[in-house]
Amino acid sequence: MRRMRDWRQRTQWIADLLQRRTGEDLEVWKARVNSGGFTDEVSLRSWLAEHGVTGYPQMLLVMERFGYPDFLLASADELIDEQYADRPELRAILDAILARAVGLGEITIQARKGYVSLLTSRRTFAAVQPTTRKRVDLGLKLKDPRRRGPLAANSSMGSSVVNARVPLASVDDVNDEVEDLLREAYADNS
């Protein structure tokens, strides 16, 4: 089974975190911020920190006051379409990875601005990123990331949790060996 998730679910998670940490919900905090007359982000952040609101909840309240970036307002499909807009021939590689991943068990597909994360019920186990105009990288979080098979030396990817990388130049590269690595990463993180 697969579920698609975009930033709306993340925003709700942050709003829930705000309430758990402060005892007040997002609407109460938005009213406080709006009545504060803040005209710049620095003064708002300072005021929130004085009131114990830091991290993701602080970021959320700043965006509620001064606006969200466009990518946070986009749907998962829009984010993915944008990632492959200038390299549509690579989109089939992502689709092939997702087709193989759905057979692993319950996964959540979380679209980000520059990559797609694959999550078990516990955490991220893989990320797919169009890295160049001719290559997509499949990043994996493995207990044993030693280079073997199609694994390449890891490089910086959108998701910092991955510790192994498989460079993919065509749909044919998304083979049984890649599926085995996906399965291993899924099991390691379930």
- Contact predicate 178/168, CB 8 Å: yes
Task: Give the pLDDT confidence of 57-108 residue by residue, as tens digits.
Answer: 999 999 999 998 877 778 888 999 999 999 999 999 999 999 999 889 999 8
Task: Give the pLDDT confidence of 27-71 residue by residue, as tens digits.
Answer: 999 999 999 999 999 999 999 999 999 999 999 999 999 998 877
Which residues are registered as beta bridge partners of 129? 137
Helix (H, G, I), strand (E, B) or coil at 31: helix
The pair of three-digit structure tokens given for residue 15, joined into one six-digit string: 């709003």
CATH number of 76-188: 3.90.1150
User: In the chain, where are the structural domains located?
Assistant: 7-72, 76-188
Place of tokens 């758990």: 20
Mean residue pLDDT of the chain comes to 90
Question: CB neighbours (10 Å) of residue 53?
Answer: 24
150-166 average pLDDT score? 75
